[in-house]
Structure 1
């Protein structure tokens, strides 16, 4: 095991830029056959909310993180980027964060292979941690498996207008929440938290991921495309039945029937989810997870500054595109919350 007392710690306010540099180094150092595509993707960084989660949980209580936290944060972001590349292929998306997607620019086959390569790159990044015990304890491949299975279950339920609330929550528990859980767990692990605390961080990360996805479900109906920087009301077009629609179909059988007959227009969907309370219901479920997360956060054995950073991440997930407070740590990233 690495002696933590001899490790040169990094100020947390500098760590996010270190993560970007780590990702840039990893991607630009790729073989020549994929280097052009990696360069193109290197400009696709989002809000770094998962990386910030790793760094916040890795805070030693005095505003410093170990170098392994930077490596793991970069791995998590590379893995997230891989899922986005594959998502764009599945959805046949033309735009991502206002830019042309890899699959649109270079073709689906190239995008699929590049997504696979990014998965491998993420695993390699994790293997670079200096403390091998952290590498083994993190069980990163298991989290990758949960993310992939969540994506698969979502695909298997495309155009399933009988999807239940509980089944949908299980889907996003893997698709989105698993990577948030891994982020919080990774940070807590390198900060040498005791087992009891580690369990709290894992649960806190899971709740953050659930909040994030439920908020994103609402953004698909609430935000104009210019603000969201992606096509809105696109989930339904791709056959993805999210919680606002699940609740709406339960309330309005005629709306569900029109969906099954593929004759439900954008304006009708928008009107239905608002009138039938689909958005209100989804925000309510998100708020329940948010309140549970706040209780866990209050119970953490951590410095107040660290708790404040973690709360800012929960707030970011909960508020989505709404205005947020501007702490110095929150200002490390910019742009709307990305899917």
Structure 2
């Protein structure tokens, strides 16, 4: 299965229009976003969900832009919090322009998101609420991640809560936004919500797995970043409950600061089957996502959503 053609050129034109500013630095960051290309996952999900519900692409443009603005604003803030040098192989905005410009540009994107939502019909107030609740959940997920690392209170339930807040809620939002706009039947809304929940977890689990199991050339950034921030991802959680758990916890607590720490955890994860178990869990979540879509009528758009979920296990960056 493959994705049907999507109007991503129209999306990028609208994104540029929304981010237009008389301030050069904001324009530059906005242009970086508009010209970034890549998967455009969240806009693609918006268009596919809209089509799967029988809606038109024209109804989805502003929803796609709004979802991308929320995502991009969170990334600008996230890069600063993580002190990241690169994202997708390019220098991060705060390294280029400084902390103030990066943070305020992220806030500018959020303000433009509010303007877009204000133009929606009053009858779809639940859509505005959904964007607000998603923004809150992203903030809570990011802060919870730092809290868990600070206290060393690692658990699977907390990990799932963190990754849903960091990533999952935005994927959920992208697929339920068209349903809220179209006031779709409740069973279709809940089907998309469940798809977004499972796919969102699978997506972030794959990101976390790649952070430890991939290489810098493929990933576009140094590997082991989560370990260096004291973050216990799915394969590391499996190691913590294994025979070398005490050693892995020590590496986490010292933020993988000693030479060879990251490689040691990679070796343990490979030899003890943590990588394989992580891939199996990603595949399980992806299939649950596909199963959730059975409530929607068969269509190329539904097949496109299914394809995205099923391909998650093979994603390399």
Q: TM-score, normalised by structure 2?
A: 0.89
Which residue in 1 is equivalent to 2:303? 308
1:318–1:65 CA distance, 2 compared to 1 (3 A) = farther
Residue 231 and residue 244 in structure 1: after superposition, are their counterparts in 2 closer, same or farther (change >3 A)?
same
Deviation at 1:163, TM superposition (A): 0.4
- 2:9 match: 17
- RMSD in angstroms over aligned alpha carbons? 2.2
Aligned length: 308
Is residue 244–residue 279 contact of structure 1 (8 Å, CA) maintained in 2?
Answer: yes
Structure 1 counterpart of 2:202? 211
Q: Which residue does 1:328 correspond to in 2? A: none
Q: Which of 264, 269, 273 does residue 273 from structure 1 map onto?
A: 269
Structure 2 CA distance, aligned partners of 1:258 and 1:72? 43
Partner of 1:221: 212
Going from structure 1 to structure 2, the CA distance change for 1:173 and 1:61 (only over 3 Å counts) comes to closer
1:48 aligned partner: 40
Q: Is the 8 A contact 1:248 1:277 kept in 2?
A: no
Matches within 5 A, 1:251-330: 251=242, 252=244, 253-261=246-254, 262-263=257-258, 265-297=261-293, 299-321=294-316
Greater per-residue helix proportion: 2
Matches within 5 A, 1:140-155: 140-155=131-146
**Residue deviations 1:51-72 (CA, integer Å, cap 9, x gap):** 111110100567x624231100
Partner of 1:157, secondary structure, is helix
The answer to whether the 8 Å contact 1:224/1:232 transfers is yes
Structure 1 counterpart of 2:97:
106
Q: Is the 8 A contact 1:94 1:104 kept in 2?
A: yes
* One of 34, 42, 59 as aligned partner of 2:26: 34
Query: Which consecutive residues of structure 1, in runs of 5 or more, have no partner in the other structure?
Result: 1-11, 322-335
Unaligned residue ranges in structure 2 (runs of 5+): none
TM-score normalised by the chain length of structure 1? 0.83
Shift of the 18–203 alpha-carbon distance from structure 1 to 2, 3 Å rule, reads: same
SS of equivalent to 1:81: helix
Q: Does 1:82 align with 2:78?
A: no
